[in-house]
Amino acid sequence: MKLTWKRTALACALVVCLALSAGCAKGSSNSSNGGGIPTFTDIDKVNTGDEQVVGNPFEAAGVSDPIAFGKMFRDVRVSVMIHHKEKLADLILYPLMVHDGKETRTIEDKAQFLEEYDTIITADVEKVLKDQRVNALMATEEGVMAGSGEVWFRATKDNPQKYGVFAILTTKMK
């Protein structure tokens, strides 16, 4: 098929219209940095495939605010998907327990987490979080489980509660 200048112009106009409607034009108010490049703070506008949280499916784990918990889960999920190590480190409830299938080690703080990130956030952990949806999380009195127990979340006893990751199994359960 031979492209004519009219088809090329039409295709360019379509791309510009799509970019404008998606908020990608310079100065668009849809981006928190004003430059049209999405930033991590634009995460509320990112479709991560999660459904709305209905009721409190995390009550068994002691979660008092399921909406805040759902937002934390989404932030963890997207942080892993875009490899935003610093943001993910802020979503950990230290000390973090990490089990590699043979032994358990304790990650005491953010600095240690960042240093050992590549041994903690493995391809198996990434896949579990990428595939996990908030409405398919399993809540028990031990916490909220993603996948087959590869990633565990919990609520603190603080008021207001904080939510985050407290345990990771670095190999996929079979």
pLDDT score at 50 = 53
Listed residue (9, 33, 36, 2) closest to 21, CA to CA:
36
pLDDT score at 159 = 81
CA 122 from chain centre, in angstroms, equals 15
Domain boundaries, the chain: 1-45, 47-169
CB 61 within 8 A of CB 142: yes
Comparison of pLDDT for 92 and 51, the residue scoring more: 92
Residues 13, 162: Cα–Cα separation, whole Å: 47
For 75-104, how does the pLDDT look when each residue is reduced to its tens digit (9 = 90+)? 999 999 999 999 999 999 999 999 998 999
CATH of 47-169, one of 2.170.150, 1.10.287, 3.30.1120, 3.10.450: 3.10.450
pLDDT score at 173 = 55
Say how many C-beta atoms besides its own lie within 10 A of residue 10's C-beta: 11
Residues 90, 152: Cα–Cα separation, whole Å: 15
| pTM given for the model | 0.70
